[in-house]
Amino acid sequence: MRKNLLCLLLAAVLLGCGVPRTVAPTAPSTPLPSPSPPTPAQAALPSISRERLLSTLADLTAIQAHSGWRNSASVGEQEALDYVQARLSELGFLREAGLQVEREPFSVFLATEIWETGLTLTVDGHAFAVPADAMRGEREQIALALHFDSDGVLNDARRDPRTVEGPILLVRDTSDLDRLSPAEVDGHILLVDYALVDRVVRGWVEAFDTAQTLLALKPAGMVLVTSYSNRPGESHGTFVGEGGVFARIEEALPPLLFVRLEDLSGVGLQGWEALAQAEQARLVWDADVVSPGHSANLVAHLPGKEPSAAVILGAHIDSPNSPGALDDGAGAAALLEVARFLDEGQIVPPVDLYLIWFGSEELGLYGSSHFVATHQELLDRTVAMLQIDCLSRPLDGIDASLTLEAWSYGRLGDDRLPWPEALAQAGREQGLDLTPEASTWIASDNTSFAAYNVPNANLIYMDQAAMDPLGGVHYAGHLHDPYDTVELAAPLADVLVQMVQSALIAVLQAPPDAQAFRVVPRPEHRALFIASHTEPVHMAPTWLIDLGMALGMEGYDVDLIPYGESFDAAEIEDAAFVVVLPVADYPSPQGDLALYDEAWTENEVAALEDYVIQGGLLVLTNSAHRMKYTNRVLDANEDWPDQNDLAERFGIRFRSGTLEGAEARVTSDHPILGGMRVLMLPGGNAVPFEIASGEVLAQVNGEAVAALVPYGGRGGEVLVLADLGLLGAAGEPVNLGFWRALAAYARRWAE
């Protein structure tokens, strides 16, 4: 009876989908066990609805159309979360089963709100409005981002649209551009073929140079015109809304909009030749840049039959300044369909289920970084996390498939992928073709879980081997372009259904054991990272992935005290290894450091000092700048001196200035260094320091960047690092030997 009911449940999951290609199954590292069967009352199970999925995509892509869409940390993003929350409130059975939905706010460094865009073309004396969009600027540098603020004033949210109008000049190719002079362009609006400044098709250097040439002509305004193509090598608007070459221009910009050539048909202009009939253009643009910006996650928790274990499904709700049907409206819709399926089938999952719509993924995984920082207990009992990001529309000739990409432990000697392999095997048994793929890059929000050793994968429709030579999945899959619409997604509805099916299999076959798919051993010790005064999420363990994994391999549970949360001695006494992250915050909107400054409390300093006195191993880090992904140096960190409130207790003092070298010479044979002779730094970010006693381990130009300081009478030690980047993530893990040695040293210390 149990087997028959399980077959009924899984058959319902697959109902309504065309049968995909099947492949011969291979044995996974850890098979997924059978779930508890549905009760007899659950016999009438629903199907997965293509129509509902596409309807959800239509709703999501209609939010703030041509006014930023679902831009990260924007009104559109919040409206999308409102929409999802309203849909969840309609699920009566899940509410009765204990469904709890919470909005969890957080800050991002920089956000852009696009209030209004407008383009009016005059043809034969008649004015016609054309759908147009504005660009979002640089994500991390305020000065550059303000070029995309209509009044150029930070944190001024007044509605003050900027309007320009003038006669039109067309720029379709470089010959058109070469013929123009500043005198001819004066007072004119340039309509420019986006292919000229498409960094994917032309390359960064050529596209950037062309953009500078256009701006040197001093037009009154500029409109970039994209056109649809599904042929490799042709431009179709990739990164026109954000991430393009204009975001890196240091000079002030004129009003700059973009339109789709196809949308000009609404005014009777079919193609570039017809566009030459337009005589006049009027541009309206109103946008504001704020720092910090405000975003949120939407977290839906459905209690399962076994509360000691959990499964997390995720998708990001924001879009990259585009309609975002594929990226990642598809994932957001898939999660809603999972919830609807469980509601209509009256199904209680075998373990706790968390559905999370992450905010501000496009700015750098802000939402998931915030989530893992503030849900440490949940991470410890999470069986697996599956992100759905995203559907793509492959270019002609590319045969994409559903891929489960995950950061593997291959660098640490174990390249198994137990969770993706088990899910792929379970999918194959139900006729789904899922391909596990090891990676060491930032895939999506699932990457935020890797440093905490939570089994994770991102479900994406792609063919990486075919797409990478063409410019990656963004270009070769129509992501981050203005054609990421429901119309483009609709032919792939069956693939989207299969994504939902995969997610349901992950939920319904989840074992009640958080250790089931973990590569690392069951933890015996606690490694505690302290981010109480570290606001930038990209300077947290989320981005110390290899170190976190190395600690996991040595039997450590990686834990975190998040930003804004104080602590006392009782909260750290059971930690066998403590890492203190740099003091750093976002700038004050008022520009007054006293109103928005971070500092250690006396109780926190006393607790950490006592921890070392009792024989603890403490790592004390600093950073002269805010960093992204712990390897990209950004704006100056005015809070670096605050680390001295703690450091001076141990005879350590950080000094003003930075060390410019990116290569540190190792000066010690201490085992904590793993035999490395050189340590790499981001460069220009290390804060010089002095020690009253102890051993210097590495130097840059004669200045210490790493030292080991004994403290107290019970063998306590402080490893002081001038630059957090010594521990940071990197595409090439040049300090991997150090990270592994540090983790092994911490294990021996704990024993």
> pLDDT of 512-552, one tens digit each?
999 999 999 999 999 999 999 999 999 999 999 999 999 99
Percent of the chain with pLDDT over 70: 92
**pLDDT category, 35, cuts 50, 70, 90?**
very low
**Tokens 């119309």 map to which residue?**
487
Q: Which residue has the higher pLDDT, 572 or 40?
A: 572
- β-sheet with 617-621: strand ranges across: 556-561, 525-530, 577-580, 617-621, 716-721, 703-711, 695-700, 663-666, 678-680
Around Cβ 592, how many Cβ atoms within 10 Å? 9
**pLDDT category, 630, cuts 50, 70, 90?**
confident
Q: How much is the average pLDDT of 392-401?
A: 96
Q: Are 101 and 298 in contact (CB under 8 A)?
A: yes
> pLDDT of 60-116, one tens digit each?
999 999 999 999 999 999 999 999 999 999 999 999 999 999 999 999 999 999 999
Does residue 17 register a pLDDT over 60? Answer: no
Closest Cα partner for 386 from 331, 439, 304? 331
Q: Are 717 and 708 in contact (CB under 8 A)?
A: yes
Around Cβ 129, how many Cβ atoms within 10 Å? 13
Return the pLDDT at 3. 42
Around Cβ 82, how many Cβ atoms within 10 Å? 13
515 by Cβ neighbours in 10 Å (0-12 / 13-18 / 19+) ranks as middle
Q: Are 207 and 199 in contact (CB under 8 A)?
A: yes
Return the pLDDT at 46. 66
Does residue 22 register a pLDDT over 60? Answer: no
For residue 46, give the 3-state DSSP assignment. coil
**pLDDT category, 39, cuts 50, 70, 90?**
very low
Distance of CA 68 to the CA centre of its chain: 18
Burial pattern 102-113, b for ≥16 Cβ within 10 A else e, equals eebebbbbbbbb
**pLDDT category, 728, cuts 50, 70, 90?**
confident
Q: Across all residues in the chain, what is the average pLDDT?
A: 92
For residue 550, give the 3-state DSSP assignment. helix
591 by Cβ neighbours in 10 Å (0-12 / 13-18 / 19+) ranks as exposed
Q: How much is the average pLDDT of 442-446?
A: 93
Q: How much is the average pLDDT of 722-748?
A: 91
Does residue 11 register a pLDDT over 90? Answer: no
Beta-bridged to residue 352, according to DSSP, are 310
Q: How far apart are CA 578 and CA 529, in angstroms?
A: 6
Does residue 291 register a pLDDT over 60? Answer: yes
Q: How far apart are CA 141 and CA 166, in angstroms?
A: 32
Total residue length of the chain: 751
Q: How far apart are CA 469 and CA 394, in angstroms?
A: 13
Q: How far apart are CA 134 and CA 286, in angstroms?
A: 9
Could you tell me the domains of the chain?
2-23+36-109+293-508 (3.40.630.10), 114-290 (3.50.30.30), 525-750 (3.40.50.880)
Return the pLDDT at 594. 54
> pLDDT of 306-365, one tens digit each?
999 999 999 999 999 999 999 999 999 999 999 999 999 999 999 999 999 999 999 999
Return the pLDDT at 4. 45
Q: How far apart are CA 405 and CA 183, in angstroms?
A: 53
The secondary structure of 680-727 as a DSSP string is E--SS-BPPEEESSSEEEEEETTEEEEEEEEETTTTEEEEEES-GGGG
554 by Cβ neighbours in 10 Å (0-12 / 13-18 / 19+) ranks as buried
**pLDDT category, 191, cuts 50, 70, 90?**
very high
Return the pLDDT at 681. 92
**pLDDT category, 589, cuts 50, 70, 90?**
low
Return the pLDDT at 34. 36
Q: How much is the average pLDDT of 129-142?
A: 95
Structure tokens at 208: 């950037």
Return the pLDDT at 100. 99
pTM: 0.94
Q: How far apart are CA 191 and CA 273, in angstroms?
A: 13
Return the pLDDT at 104. 99
Q: How much is the average pLDDT of 645-655?
A: 98
Return the pLDDT at 14. 57
Instruction: Give me the sign of the Cα torsion angle 229, 230, 232, 238.
Output: positive
Q: How far apart are CA 450 and CA 540, in angstroms?
A: 13
